[in-house]
């Protein structure tokens, strides 16, 4: 009996996707370059299930019903090209390769073009939600050939996360690299979310001197309100985790040096490429880079002096600041998402993808790392105005920002006065103030450019392009 679908790459994400597909009634063939991994998987987690082990690409291909559907869950980059090269001669026209890894969207555009010239189909599918999501229901962002999407739609919808147990967080996003682009942007927004949350935690620890369990209580409360989200929920959980050896809060023992696999960097590169204004997302990447130069920071801390954070206040004053931090976090989050969706909007126009921003928000409602009630508000905003230029201009978000800004400004000012680096909170506030400013300082930049480079400038009082000989002979 032929299998409905095949999967290559049995790291935990791949294994969990296989188990998810099998649990939905599909017969799945699997292949892994290291055969022991396949044997181990079949001997334990896949035992007794409709999961077929294969030990060569030929065997895998031969075990699949036509048109063949093969999911790649392998490391982004050259490994994908190598597997495609080995697979291609074994496939027939109409067969479909589904790349479920975090591939760079331009690689996906290249691969789908090359394969479709040879009569094969290629889908670049963003899959978000980590290992747990892969097993229980990820957010799935498929892009590529629409005919191929129709062939794999049922399987991907069946295994995806569902909103209210019914609306699938899986729908066709757009042609060629659109799916991987949306996933990349999800990760950029994720970086912003994670940085903003870490700054809220850091401020309560450094300025208010709160302990992990005191901060945990705050995050638990926040998770009951408008800040409800997976990342807020796991942050509360992290703050309650004690180290088995010392009994101390584990988070306090973790080295403050952040890693990254590159998806936030790609999002930032794309924002610069397209001229999309995404300072908070980019700042979150730089915040990781700054954290990574730990040794340098330790040395600099002995040389560069600044204020010692201190806050002496009553219990109610502390509660007021904590409320302000919550306002600042929600307002900054809105700015970060506004930046991410504006990038998607610009990419949609640049790459002719016709992205549906409201539908993308719904894809992220469950299953993915940035899943949150908040995404419903974004969907509603685009339902109210599909041509919305910027989320901040939507009536709901506009009101939230107006209500939050006093607390937001107090928090950023307090951090600055106490020498506490809240770069993402600050960049989000500067973005808000910059976006709503009719006049900025760029007239001085234009004057300088014309002074030393004769780059010309426009005027506010008459049409035309001008140059001035600034240096009086």
Site residues (CB under 6 A) for ligand 6PG, limited to 199-258: none
Instruction: Verify binding: residue 187, ligand 6PG, rule CB under 6 A.
Output: yes
Nearer to ligand 6PG, 196 or 369 (CB): 369
Q: Select from 102, 223, 280, 332 the one that contacts ligand 6PG (CB under 6 A).
A: 102
Q: Select from 128, 185, 424, 426 the one that contacts ligand 6PG (CB under 6 A).
A: 128
295 is catalytic: no
Instruction: Verify binding: residue 261, ligand 6PG, rule CB under 6 A.
Output: yes
Instruction: Verify binding: residue 99, ligand 6PG, rule CB under 6 A.
Output: no
Is omega for the bond preceding 457 within 30 degrees of 0, making it cis?
Answer: no
Q: Site size for ligand 6PG, by CB under 6 A?
A: 13
| CA–CA distance, 226 with 375 (Å, rounded to integer) | 11
Instruction: Verify binding: residue 267, ligand 6PG, rule CB under 6 A.
Output: no
Instruction: Verify binding: residue 291, ligand 6PG, rule CB under 6 A.
Output: no
Nearer to ligand 6PG, 138 or 249 (CB): 138
Q: Which of 295, 21, 341, 305 is nearest to 185 (CA)?
A: 341
Nearer to ligand 6PG, 241 or 261 (CB): 261
Q: Select from 32, 198, 223, 263 the one that contacts ligand 6PG (CB under 6 A).
A: 263
Nearer to ligand 6PG, 54 or 195 (CB): 195
CB count within 10 Å of CB 198 equals 18
Contact pattern for ligand 6PG over residues 368 through 387, marking x by CB under 6 A: xx------------------
Nearer to ligand 6PG, 192 or 407 (CB): 192
Give the active site residue among 183, 333, 356, 377: 183
Instruction: Verify binding: residue 129, ligand 6PG, rule CB under 6 A.
Output: yes
Nearer to ligand 6PG, 160 or 187 (CB): 187
Which range, of 246-254, 260-268, 273-281, 349-357, touches ligand 6PG by CB under 6 A?
260-268
Which range, of 78-86, 105-113, 141-149, 261-269, touches ligand 6PG by CB under 6 A?
261-269
What would the two tokens of residue 35 be? 């055969």
Which range, of 259-267, 271-279, 429-437, 457-465, touches ligand 6PG by CB under 6 A?
259-267
**Cα–Cα separations (whole angstroms), residue 389 to 1, 57, 341, 346:** 52, 48, 9, 10
66 is catalytic: no
Instruction: Verify binding: residue 130, ligand 6PG, rule CB under 6 A.
Output: yes
Instruction: Verify binding: residue 190, ligand 6PG, rule CB under 6 A.
Output: yes
Least distance from C-beta 198 to ligand 6PG, angstroms? 12
Q: Which residues contact 470 (CB under 8 A, 6 or more apart)?
A: 447, 450, 451
Give the active site residue among 22, 190, 270, 366: 190
Chain residues binding ligand 6PG by CB under 6 A are 102, 128-130, 187, 190, 259-261, 263-264, 368-369
What is the set of active-site residues? 183, 190
């Amino acid at each position: 009996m032929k299998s409905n679908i095949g999967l290559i790459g049995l790291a935990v994400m791949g294994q969990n996707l296989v188990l998810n597909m099998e649990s939905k009634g599909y017969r799945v063939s699997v292949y892994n370059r290291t055969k022991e991994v396949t044997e181990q998987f079949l001997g334990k987690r896949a035992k007794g299930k409709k999961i077929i082990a294969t030990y060569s690409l030929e065997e895998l291909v031969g075990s699949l019903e036509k048109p063949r559907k093969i999911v790649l869950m392998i490391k982004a980059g050259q490994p994908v090209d190598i597997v495609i090269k080995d697979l291609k001669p074994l496939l027939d026209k109409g067969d479909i390769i589904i790349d479920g890894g975090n591939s760079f969207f331009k690689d996906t555009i290249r691969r789908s073009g090359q394969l479709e010239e040879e009569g094969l189909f290629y889908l670049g599918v963003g899959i978000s939600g980590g290992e747990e999501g892969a097993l229980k229901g990820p957010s799935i962002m498929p892009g590529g050939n629409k005919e191929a999407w129709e062939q794999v739609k049922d399987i991907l919808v069946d295994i995806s996360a569902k909103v209210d147990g019914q609306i699938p967080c899986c729908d066709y996003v757009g042609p060629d690299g659109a799916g991987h682009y949306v996933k990349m942007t999800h990760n950029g927004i994720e970086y912003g979310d994670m940085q903003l949350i870490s700054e809220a935690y850091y401020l309560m620890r450094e300025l208010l001197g709160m302990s992990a369990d005191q901060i945990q209580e705050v995050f638990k409360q926040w998770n009951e309100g408008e800040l409800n989200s997976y990342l807020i929920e796991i942050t509360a959980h992290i703050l309650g985790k004690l180290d088995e050896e010392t009994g101390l809060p584990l988070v306090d023992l973790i080295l403050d040096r952040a890693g990254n696999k590159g998806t936030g960097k790609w999002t930032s590169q794309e924002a610069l490429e397209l001229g999309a204004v995404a300072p908070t997302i980019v700042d979150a990447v730089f915040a990781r880079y700054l954290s990574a130069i730990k040794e340098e920071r330790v040395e600099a801390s002995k040389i560069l002096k600044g204020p010692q954070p201190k806050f002496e206040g009553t219990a109610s004053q502390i509660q007021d600041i904590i409320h302000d931090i919550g306002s600042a976090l929600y307002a900054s989050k809105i700015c970060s998402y506004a930046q991410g969706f504006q990038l998607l909007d610009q990419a949609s126009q640049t790459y002719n993808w016709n992205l549906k921003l409201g539908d993308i928000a719904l894809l992220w409602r469950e299953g993915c790392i940035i899943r949150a009630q908040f995404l419903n508000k974004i969907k509603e905003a685009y339902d109210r105005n599909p041509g919305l230029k910027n989320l901040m201009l939507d009536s709901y978000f506009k009101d939230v920002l107006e209500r939050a800004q006093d607390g937001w400004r107090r928090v950023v000012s307090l951090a600055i006065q106490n020498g506490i680096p809240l770069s993402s909170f600050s960049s989000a506030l500067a973005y808000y103030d910059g976006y709503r400013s009719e006049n900025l300082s760029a007239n001085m930049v234009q004057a300088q450019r014309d002074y030393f480079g004769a780059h010309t400038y426009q005027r506010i009082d008459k049409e035309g392009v001008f140059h001035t000989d600034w240096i009086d002979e």
